[in-house]
Amino acid sequence: MATLFISDLHLDGKRPAITTLFLDFLAQRTAAIEALYILGDLFEAWIGDDDDDPLGREVAAALKTLSQRGVAIYLMHGNRDFLMGETFAAASGATLLPETLVIDLYKTPTLIMHGDSLCTGDLDYQTFRACVHSPEWQAQILALPLPRRREIAKQLRLESQHTNREKAAGITDVNLRAVLTALQTHGVRHLIHGHTHRPYIHNWNNDGEAFQRIVLGDWYEQGSVLYCDSRGCRLKQLPPG
């Protein structure tokens, strides 16, 4: 049996091929797994569990089918779907996780997170992140009518695309000091995260201790999946949708 990790699918009605790839993945490539962790940005945008977009219902139904087969499903917020709530989680048969969590991954204590909080060099983004994660801001947004929330989500995506094009690659990547601090704070030496869209397994030593950081890839053109079992973890790429 294996445990799978994915993130940064950015599912969007305008990109149906990736949605199809994800639904096929759930139906055909999860026969021998015990758990699926989705570490944020399942959707390109999430404006509230009351959204009537059929994509959300379709994805929730597919996840629910997987959970009914006995697979444990865990959802984590990303920087695009931080308004996802317990209603969607329940419809998906999933458990909504806090933004950081240490799990026992086949006897290896492992910290999991979306990863955007580690990009401490991007000061503008961290200021924005603190704002949108406040309960007060979220309550104000969720009180708005759906059409207005869609307008705000569209505006935020456009602003993000514009600013990210102008930022150096090092600014949008994680800060290694922040990574080490997170690992030491939680008392572990293994980390799995997404967000940066730079899939890789990093191994390094610090003061004689071995550390590992696994970065999940995105699903913009193909699927990135981390397969973990008692033998270790392996990054795999699904064929393009």
CATH of the domain at 39: 3.60.21.10
Is the pLDDT at 167 greater than 70, yes or no?
no
Q: Please, which pLDDT band fits residue 16 given cuts at 50, 70 and 90?
A: very high
Across the range 160-183, mean pLDDT stands at 81
Is the pLDDT at 222 greater than 90, yes or no?
no
- Intra-chain end-to-end CA distance of the chain, in Å: 26
Number of domains in the chain: 1
Q: Which long-range contacts (CB under 8 A, 24 or more apart) does 125-129 make?
A: 129/79
Q: Please, which pLDDT band fits residue 241 given cuts at 50, 70 and 90?
A: low
Locus of tokens 């992140």: 129
Across the range 85-95, mean pLDDT stands at 98
Cα gap 168→52, rounded to integer Å: 37
Q: Note the pLDDT of residue 161.
A: 76
pLDDT tens digits for range 127-138? 999 999 999 999
Q: Note the pLDDT of residue 113.
A: 98
For residue 64, the enclosing domain spans: 2-238
pLDDT tens digits for range 179-201? 999 999 999 999 999 999 999 99
Q: Note the pLDDT of residue 165.
A: 67
Beta carbons within 8 Å of 45's beta carbon, 6+ residues apart: 12, 80, 81, 153, 154, 156, 157
